[in-house]
């Protein structure tokens, strides 16, 4: 019995040492990355503007005077570089504006720790004001879609067209009882110990074609998550998020609209597209497209198809 207890205690001690070693290694390997280091790594072409009291990283390409520009809003957890391949396939001649939301990418945490939808819309409007953009074609993927349709509803005169790609904003029946509001404030510290492979698996879960999940994509995804303050900011964003009841907002949209959905979207099922169509009752026109063989990240999975659909939509206006 004594020998058994000795072996057991040795095993427990070894396990504790391994855990302690992993924690120490993780705190070093997955430590926060300063803004300057990330800008040096990923900031090619990026500019910074103080919008609503918060520094926002944004990029502009093309001539802003050549008609309404594209404004591309990225998905939750990602950053504006997710649009790179879409932009390379878009027809030339029109400017493209994109930026990193607060708690994402190079922008980092909101100075007011305010991650409400009103705040997101105000920051988008402030960016367009800074760039002297009177109206734009607003395109949003996932969380970006949620911000895009709220913007279109609040500023109809500034929205020349609206495109929702696998948009968030309608509460799913199976998630109606789930909420991040109850997560304790300290929980963001858990993200310091999650290995890179877990982020890869998360991205792979969202797509059908796993080959699009490159090493560079995973590395950038993890690096941006490690931007100083972003992990805590993301938990604050999730804790404050409320899909609410969007019927009134969607009903206020007047701009011509395009809805694009991945048929095999594991996060937001394709049936949600019909709900958007049914609630957007006052749009000038509405077109829907389902893309076969794709999941939640259409701009990453099929950038050429995404660009083709965007160009076709602009041509119809």
Tell me what the mean pLDDT of segment 10-27 comes to.
Answer: 61
Gap between the Cα atoms of 153 and 164, Å rounded: 13
DSSP letter string, 209-266: -GGG--HHHHHHHHHHHTBTTHHHHHHHHHHH------HHHHHT--S-EEEEEETT-S
Tell me what the mean pLDDT of segment 90-94 comes to.
Answer: 94
17 and 162: one domain?
no
194 and 145: one domain?
yes
Of 249, 251, 205, 198, nearest in space to 225 by CA? 198
Q: Which residues are within 8 A (CB) of 112 and not within 5 positions of it... i.e. 6 or more apart?
A: 52, 53, 54, 119
Residue 27 pLDDT > 90: no
Gap between the Cα atoms of 15 and 5, Å rounded: 15
Residue 22 pLDDT > 70: no
Report how far apart the first and last C-alpha atoms of the chain are (Å, whole number).
Answer: 82
273 and 241: one domain?
yes
pLDDT at 226: 93
203: domain CATH number is 3.40.50.1820
Average pLDDT, rounded, for the chain? 90
3 and 24: one domain?
yes
41 and 19: one domain?
no
pLDDT at 177: 44
> In total, how many domains does the chain have?
2
Sign of CA dihedral 205, 116, 169, 181: positive
251 and 128: one domain?
yes
Residue 297 pLDDT > 70: yes
Identify the domain containing residue 15 by its residue range: 1-30
pLDDT at 46: 97
120 and 181: one domain?
yes
221 and 119: one domain?
yes
Gap between the Cα atoms of 101 and 57, Å rounded: 8
Residue 86 pLDDT > 90: yes
Residue 249 pLDDT > 70: yes
- Identify the DSSP state of 108: B
107 and 20: one domain?
no
Residue 179: band (very low, low, confident or very high) from pLDDT cuts 50, 70, 90? low
Residue 21 pLDDT > 80: no
Q: Which two tokens stand for residue 73?
A: 């809003």
Is 243 within 8 Å of 191 (Cβ atoms)? no
pLDDT at 176: 42
Residue 164 pLDDT > 50: yes
pLDDT tens string 267-293? 999 999 999 999 999 999 999 999 999
pLDDT at 239: 86
162 and 51: one domain?
yes
Interstrand relation of 286-291 and 257-262 (parallel, antiparallel or unpaired)? parallel
Residue 140 pLDDT > 80: yes
Residue 244 pLDDT > 80: no
User: For 197-207, b where at least 16 C-beta lie within 10 A, e where not — what string?
Assistant: eebbeebbebb
% pLDDT > 70, the chain: 86
Tell me how crowded residue 44 is: count the other CB atoms within 10 A of its CB. Answer: 9
26 and 155: one domain?
no
65 and 122: one domain?
yes
Chain center to CA of 241? 14
Q: Among 25-39, 117-131, 153-167, 240-254, whose mean pLDDT is lowest? A: 25-39
Gap between the Cα atoms of 135 and 125, Å rounded: 10
């Amino acid at each position: 019995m004594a020998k058994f207890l000795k072996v057991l205690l040795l095993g427990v001690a070894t396990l504790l040492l391994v855990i302690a070693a992993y924690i120490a290694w993780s705190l070093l390997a997955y430590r926060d990355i300063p803004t300057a280091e990330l800008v040096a790594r990923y900031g090619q072409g990026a500019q910074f503007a103080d919008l609503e009291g918060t520094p926002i990283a944004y990029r502009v390409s093309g001539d802003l005077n050549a008609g309404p520009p594209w404004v591309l809003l990225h998905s939750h957890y990602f950053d504006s570089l997710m649009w790179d391949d879409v932009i390379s396939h878009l027809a030339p001649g029109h400017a493209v504006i994109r930026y990193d939301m607060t708690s994402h990418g190079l922008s980092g945490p909101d100075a007011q720790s305010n991650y409400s939808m009103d705040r997101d819309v105000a920051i988008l409007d402030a960016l367009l004001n800074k760039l002297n953009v009177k109206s734009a074609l607003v395109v949003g993927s996932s969380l970006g879609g949620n911000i895009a349709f709220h913007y279109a509803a609040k500023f109809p005169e500034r929205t020349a067209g609206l495109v929702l790609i696998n948009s968030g904003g309608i509460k799913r029946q199976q998630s109606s009882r789930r909420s991040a509001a109850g997560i304790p404030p300290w929980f963001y510290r858990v993200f310091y110990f999650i290995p890179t492979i877990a982020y890869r698996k998360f991205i792979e879960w969202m797509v059908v074609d796993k080959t699009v999940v490159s090493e560079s994509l995973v590395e950038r995804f993890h690096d941006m998550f490690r931007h100083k303050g972003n992990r805590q900011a993301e938990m604050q964003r999730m804790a404050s998020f409320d899909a609410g009841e969007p019927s009134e907002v969607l009903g206020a949209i007047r701009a011509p609209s395009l809805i694009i959905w991945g048929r095999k979207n594991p996060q937001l099922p394709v049936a949600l597209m019909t709900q958007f169509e049914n609630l957007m009752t006052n749009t000038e026109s509405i077109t829907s497209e389902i893309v076969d063989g794709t999941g939640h990240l259409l701009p990453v999975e099929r950038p050429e198809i995404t660009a083709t659909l965007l160009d076709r939509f602009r041509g119809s206006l």
